[in-house]
A and B are shown apart, each in its own frame.
Chain A
Amino acid sequence: MASIQIFTSLQYLFNNQTEIELDVANLQQLLTRLPQAYPQCAQEVANGISVAIDGRIVNDAWFTPIEPNSEVVILPRISGG
Chain B
Amino acid sequence: MSQYKARKFNVVGQRLQRPDGIDKVTGRARYGADMDAAGMLHAKVLRSPHAHARIISIDTSAAAALPGVMAVITRADFPLASGEYIDLLDHCMAGDRALYDGHAVAAVAATSKRLAKQALKLIKVDYELLPHVTDIEAAIAPGAPVIHAGVVGRGVPKGYSDNVTRFRSFGHGDIEAGFQQADVVVERTYRTEATHQGYIEPHACVATMGMDGRGDLWVCTQGHFAIRNMCAAILGMESASLRVTASEIGGGFGGKTTVCIEPLALALAKKSGRAVKLVMTRDEVLRATGPTVSTLMHVKLGMNQAGRITAAYAQLFYQSGAYRGYAADFGAMPAFAPYALENVHTEGFDVMTNRPKSAAYRAPGAPPACYAAESAIDEAAHQLGLDPLAVRLLNAAREGSKSSYGPTYAAHGLVECLQAAQQHPHWRAPLGENMGRGIAAGFWFNFGGDTCVSAFLNPDGSISVSEGNPDIGGSRASISMMVAEEMGIPYEQVRTTVADTGSMGQNEPTHGSRVTFAVGLAAIKSARAIIAEIRHRLAQLWEVDIDSVVWQQGCASCTDPNSEHKAPMDLRQVAAIASNTGGPIGGHHEVNAEGAGVSFGVHIADTEVDPQTGHISIKRYTVIQDAGKAIQPDYVEGQLQGGAVQGIGWALNEEYIYGEDGRLQNSGFLDYRIPVASDLPMIDTVIVEVPNPGHPYGVRGVGETPIVPPLAAVANAVTAATGVRQVHLPMSPPRVLAGLQAK
The distance from the CB of A29 to the nearest CB of chain B, in whole angstroms, is 17
Would A73 and B169 count as touching, CB distance under 8 A? no
Per-residue A-contact encoding for B133-176, CB less than 8 Å = 1, 0 else? 00000000000000000000011000000000001111110000
Q: In this assembly, does A78 line the interface, its C-beta being within 8 Å of a C-beta of chain B? A: yes
Docked complex Cα distance between A61 and B596 (Å): 13
Q: In this assembly, does A38 line the interface, its C-beta being within 8 Å of a C-beta of chain B? A: no
The distance from the CB of A46 to the nearest CB of chain B, in whole angstroms, is 11
Q: In this assembly, does A79 line the interface, its C-beta being within 8 Å of a C-beta of chain B? A: yes
- Which of A5, A9, A71, A75 lies in contact with B169, CB distance below 8 A? A9
Docked complex Cα distance between A81 and B362 (Å): 5
Q: In this assembly, does B196 line the interface, its C-beta being within 8 Å of a C-beta of chain A? A: no
Most buried by B among A57, A60, A75: A57
Tell me the total A-B contact number using a CB cutoff of 8 A.
Answer: 93
Would B345 and A8 count as touching, CB distance under 8 A? yes
Q: In this assembly, does B542 line the interface, its C-beta being within 8 Å of a C-beta of chain A? A: no
The distance from the CB of B201 to the nearest CB of chain A, in whole angstroms, is 17
Q: In this assembly, does B317 line the interface, its C-beta being within 8 Å of a C-beta of chain A? A: no
Per-residue B-contact encoding for A1-17, CB less than 8 Å = 1, 0 else? 00001011110100000
- Which of A43, A55, A59 lies in contact with B407, CB distance below 8 A? A55
Supposing A12-B155, A56-B694, A75-B406 touch, asked if A61 and B594 sit within 8 A by C-beta, the answer is yes
Would A80 and B446 count as touching, CB distance under 8 A? yes
Q: In this assembly, does A31 line the interface, its C-beta being within 8 Å of a C-beta of chain B? A: no
Would B594 and A81 count as touching, CB distance under 8 A? no
Supposing A7-B170, A75-B333 touch, asked if A56 and B595 sit within 8 A by C-beta, the answer is yes
Q: In this assembly, does B195 line the interface, its C-beta being within 8 Å of a C-beta of chain A? A: no
Per-residue B-contact encoding for A52-77, CB less than 8 Å = 1, 0 else? 10111111110010000001010111
The distance from the CB of A50 to the nearest CB of chain B, in whole angstroms, is 9
Report 26 cross-chain contacts, Cβ distance below 8 Å, ordered by A residue: A5-B406, A7-B168, A8-B170, A9-B155, A9-B170, A55-B409, A56-B595, A57-B596, A59-B449, A59-B594, A60-B592, A61-B594, A64-B594, A73-B407, A75-B407, A76-B333, A79-B447, A79-B511, A80-B364, A80-B446, A80-B511, A80-B513, A81-B255, A81-B360, A81-B364, A81-B704
Contacting residues, chain A, for B364 (C-beta < 8 A): 80-81
Q: In this assembly, does B491 line the interface, its C-beta being within 8 Å of a C-beta of chain A? A: no
Would A80 and B408 count as touching, CB distance under 8 A? no
Size category, A interface:
20 to 34
How many residues from B make CB contacts under 8 Å with A?
44
Docked complex Cα distance between A61 and B518 (Å): 14
Interface residues of A in 11-52 (CB under 8 A from B): 12, 18, 43, 52
Docked complex Cα distance between A60 and B595 (Å): 12
11 more A-B residue pairs beyond the given contacts A52-B406, A59-B594, with a C-beta to C-beta distance below 8 A: A55-B410, A56-B410, A59-B592, A61-B594, A71-B408, A76-B329, A80-B514, A81-B253, A81-B254, A81-B364, A81-B511
Would A55 and B408 count as touching, CB distance under 8 A? yes
Would A7 and B405 count as touching, CB distance under 8 A? yes
Docked complex Cα distance between A75 and B447 (Å): 14
Would B407 and A57 count as touching, CB distance under 8 A? yes
The distance from the CB of A40 to the nearest CB of chain B, in whole angstroms, is 9
Contacting residues, chain A, for B704 (C-beta < 8 A): 80-81
Q: In this assembly, does B266 line the interface, its C-beta being within 8 Å of a C-beta of chain A? A: no
Most buried by B among A5, A7, A73, A80: A80
The distance from the CB of A11 to the nearest CB of chain B, in whole angstroms, is 9
Contacting residues, chain B, for A55 (C-beta < 8 A): 407-410
Residue in chain A with minimal CB distance to B407? A52
Contacting residues, chain B, for A54 (C-beta < 8 A): 408, 410
